[in-house]
Amino acid sequence: MISNRDTIAALATPLGTSAIAIVRASGPDCAAIARDALELPHPPLPRVATHADYRDRSGALLDDVVAIYYAAPNSYTGDDILEISCHGNPFIAQKILEDLLARGCRPAEAGEFTRRAFANGRIDLSQAEAVMDLIHARSERALTAANQQLRGSLERHLDTLTENLLSALARIEAYIDFPDEDLPAEDRAIVRRGIEELSKGTARLLATQHYGELLREGIRTVIIGEPNAGKSSLLNRLVGQERALVSAEPGTTRDFIEERLHIGPHCLRLIDTAGLNPSPAPLEKLGMQKTLERAAEADLFLLVLDATRPHPNLPPEILEKLSQENALIVLNKIDLVPVAGAATGNSKSLNSKSQTNLKFQISNSKNNNITHFCETSCVTGEGLDALEKAIIDRAETFRRDQGDEIIAINARHADALSRAQTSLVSALAHLDANGPVELLAADLRAALDAYGEIGGRIDNERMLDHLFATFCIGK
């Protein structure tokens, strides 16, 4: 069990040479350490930047620093905090940390500063998780969601659900002390409507889990198509470097290549795959199997087709996964399409018959046409801006807002909400069967406990140990 009576210390910035490094301490000894190490004539003033020499216990000068003291409870952790900004030489920062440890501090465990903030009621557990989401945010959308959760967006939604659940539970428990009294039909109807609304609210939050995964990991965008259609060229164009080998010889890509990139406010995990060859060589078959595996996990497909050739018959396993919502068709090599009526200045004429054939195949397999075609040339760059805009538009459809806020729950939240939903469904079943109010109340209490786990109102030391162990040292 972590004790708040200890004074802990750690580097708050990564190792490496930089302009500034920060060493952080939290606990009851911070004021005394600041006064002694900085040779102050008086206790440090809270929230005032103090420029001073930092001397170790032997009196040796370690560095010229700026220190800020935060007095409890008005600090990040809720305890006294001392933050020392020194020159960004790793040797200097390490010497200051060693001196703090020599003065009685102990090394902070991973996530211990944030855990103290949670233990002291400065933040709830969902906000603590938002701290890590903020640190690791990979896109503008992820940053916005993390900031909103850090400021209590998820907590506010859960508070509303909890208050409504407590209201329903109070109405039911009023009858538990009177076993001979049945729940009147009027109250039964009120409770039913309340539980149904709770179930809908819980379902709305659960529906944001997938979007949460996309924000934290990136949108899995798989580039598929026939060999030599320009899939690797498209990858190289989008990431802005020669990431994949490009050759006129079909079947160059035998394995998948993954790169992260930002397009607009979104982070994409862009995956280039082996070509879908109807008559593959043995090694190509292995590559195509990898393609099918990546397709099974995809959030978004970029189906690259060669505009100069008839469009291929795609494997049924791929067609079944494509839909209007998750796929964009990229007609590549439009710079090579013959110009119809060049003498009269007419524009290029793409193979509309092939487009219609492809739609027909997809309609047969998914009953859903893909109507958005982006015409591109990975050689000239033509059409790539329009393709990026189309990708952004598709990515926006994954967003699940709750009013003006972005809610993006994680797996832990989803587990608790799923258990709450199961309890609410069970409560409705007991209500419909006119069962004992004790069983109905037990279901609602179970849902209440599940809601409480998300914010950390339910004490689970093992879960807390696991969660904060994923944090970095110094946070």
Amino acid at 320: E
Query: Is 252 one of the annotated binding-site residues?
Result: yes
Query: Is 274 one of the annotated binding-site residues?
Result: yes
Query: Is 248 one of the annotated binding-site residues?
Result: yes
Query: Is 294 one of the annotated binding-site residues?
Result: no
Query: Is 273 one of the annotated binding-site residues?
Result: yes
Query: Is 126 one of the annotated binding-site residues?
Result: no
Query: Is 24 one of the annotated binding-site residues?
Result: yes
Query: Is 201 one of the annotated binding-site residues?
Result: no
Listed in sequence order, the residues at least 6 apart from 1 whose beta carbon sits closer than 8 Å to its beta carbon are: 461
Query: Is 197 one of the annotated binding-site residues?
Result: no
Query: Is 357 one of the annotated binding-site residues?
Result: no
Query: Please, are residues 32 and 104 in contact by the beta-carbon 8 Å criterion?
Result: no
Query: Is 272 one of the annotated binding-site residues?
Result: yes
Query: Is 199 one of the annotated binding-site residues?
Result: no
Query: Is 83 one of the annotated binding-site residues?
Result: yes
Query: Is 296 one of the annotated binding-site residues?
Result: no
Query: Is 162 one of the annotated binding-site residues?
Result: no
Query: Is 232 one of the annotated binding-site residues?
Result: yes
Query: Is 122 one of the annotated binding-site residues?
Result: yes
Beta bridge partners of 9: 25, 107
Query: Is 230 one of the annotated binding-site residues?
Result: yes
Query: Is 247 one of the annotated binding-site residues?
Result: yes
Q: Which two tokens stand for residue 281?
A: 């060589």
Binding residues: 24, 83, 122, 228-233, 247-253, 272-275, 475
Binding residues for (6S)-5-formyl-5,6,7,8-tetrahydrofolate: 24, 83, 122, 475
Binding residues for GTP: 228-233, 247-253, 272-275
Binding residues for Mg(2+): 232, 253
